[in-house]
Chain A
Amino acid sequence: MDSRMEIAIAGVTWKNPVTTASGTFGSGREYGEWIDLNRLGAITVKGVSEEAWKGNPVPRLAETQSGLLNSIGLQNAGAKHFIENDIPFLRQYDTKIIVNICGHTLSQYCAVAERFAGCDIDMLELNISCPNVEEGGLSFGTDPHVVERVVKAVRHYVKQPLIVKLSPEVTDITEVARAAVSGGADALSLINTLRGMKIDIHKRRPILASKIGGYSGPGIMPVALRMVYEVCHSVDVPVIGMGGISTFEDALQFIMAGAQAVAVGTANFHNPYATVEIIDGIRKYMKENRISSLEEIRGCID
């Protein structure tokens, strides 16, 4: 393995800076039929709640130009099922495990965090930015004071390094970022989806059963990149950049904006090899440009 690609986030070393965006990769099982999961720096799994969640009604998907709207609603089988089935599966691979947790209430967030405290996982990602659940999710992630309070409360139960995932649906992303760090975040990840909509003019109704969903894909990348850039310049914790990354060129832009690592999301849906192609592309770029460590280019944009 090529040590030049190694990065560290909150004391956890990844073999390369590429992980998966929560909700786009399940727990890796399905993609394991397509790619070697050992290649990934880390696998960030789909959101896990304390109890099983059924998710939102269908249709849950709508395609837009250069993007995708989704309203899955964090369907998952609950923490017990995840701990019994998915952790043993993921531990077969030489990659870091990042568990994304979600809840409808503060006590549910704390309960699921506590559930994972004794588990063999590497990092925890706190989802306070999902637009597709009525309670919890986004409503916890837009007010800096609430963010700080929620992170502080959950932090108390967390035993692994804690990543807080931020929503772009705010006026000043740096304010929320600082609040999360002040609450105890060891790292930040951003951005989650933007809320969007699509209407079928023939049926005169929204495509999504939930009317509004989360917008992701290449269309949001400029917004994501700008926000990652701003956050990297305003906090001292490492940042995992995401939002529309589909190629290694996209990933390098986030690293140059200051991101320690990147996550590949929607691109997995239209190219199951996206993650490994991005890893290979970064390596090739480093070689061609005689870069011996990503530190040489990280945050090179003032």
Chain B
Amino acid sequence: MSTYCTAAVINHEEIIPGVWKIELSAPEIAKTARPGQFIQLYPPDERNLLARPLSLSSISKESVTVVYRVVGQGTKQFSCLQVDDMVRVMGPLGNGFTLPDAGTQNVIVGGGLGIPPLLELAKRFHENTVVLLGYRDDPFMAEDFQRLGLEVHIASQSGNYGFHGTVLDLLENLTLPAGMIFACGPRQMLQSVSMWAKGHNVPIQVSLEERMACGLGACLGCGVKIQKPGEQDWRYLRVCKDGPVFSGEEVVWNG
């Protein structure tokens, strides 16, 4: 069950320049939230009508945490929020990841701002899990994954940190056969990883992003082209309600 409420800011910090982590006191949301779901966070200035959809990076008993990059007016307003400020929020929304059977060899693949939404998922895995994180330049939140005791591999495109390359290179270097891939990141990365998964016959769940208005399935603004097995043609499904997590094989990546 989703809730629409006003939540207090508990923690708020800039983790790297322009990227912020905000923790909100929202017990009602936290109670039912699952990894891969998202919240709609409302800019305080109501002239910005629409909430911003942000995937949950952590869920605790009383609070939820999201990570965002300042890109426009709405996120700029978020960055000015102080601890104890109140902010309107709706959630949890969307389907979330489907957790695999015990014993599955999980591979978590995150790129850039797609990394935080995978943290809560990683917390649910104790073993049989490899985490592959890709950054353009300097890493962030990698230690949150390392702290979980999981095997973490890092790549950066600049070569500044970890392996000089992309998560796709890390995937190629995997020594274990992957049982299920969970991915979040830029569309181009998700497409490459989905192609890799298809080539290696590994099921993959991808978490997608799209501009949203309502966030609850009514406006049909956040379409993604999906073609399910046995269907003649693709159709637009809703990232907010049918997703944001989809099977990577069912996404029509080109076009």
Contact = CB atoms under 8 A, between A and B. Distances in A.
Nearest to B42: A270
B217 A60 contact: no
Contacts of A218: 49
B211 A34 contact: no
B212 A61 contact: yes
Interface string B1-31: 1101000000000000000000000000000
A59 B220 CA distance: 11
B4 A68 contact: no
A70 B49 contact: no
B4 A270 contact: no
Nearest to A66: B47
A29 B220 CA distance: 13
A281 interface: no
Categorize the interface residue count of chain A.
20 to 34
Contacts of A65: 47-48
Contacts of A29: 217
A25 interface: yes
Contact of B49 (A30, A72, A217): A217
B254 to A, nearest CB: 13
A269 interface: yes
Contacts of A61: 50, 211-213, 219, 221-222
A60 B214 contact: no
A33 B90 CA distance: 13
B210 A59 contact: yes
Interface in A236-282: 266, 268-273
Residue from A26, A31, A33, A269 with most neighbouring chain B CB atoms (10 Å): A269
Contacts of B179: none
B216 interface: yes
A63 B49 contact: yes
Residue from A31, A59, A70, A270 with most neighbouring chain B CB atoms (10 Å): A270
Going nearest first, the 7 A-B pairs with the smallest beta carbon separation are A26-B218, A61-B221, A30-B217, A269-B213, A30-B218, A269-B214, A61-B211
Interface of A: 23-26, 29-31, 33-34, 46, 54-55, 58-63, 65-68, 70, 72, 75, 217-218, 266, 268-273
Interface of B: 1-2, 4, 42, 46-51, 74, 90, 210-214, 216-224, 235-236, 241
Given A61-B222, A272-B214, 9 more contacts: A34-B2, A46-B220, A55-B223, A61-B50, A70-B221, A270-B51, A272-B4, A272-B216, A273-B4
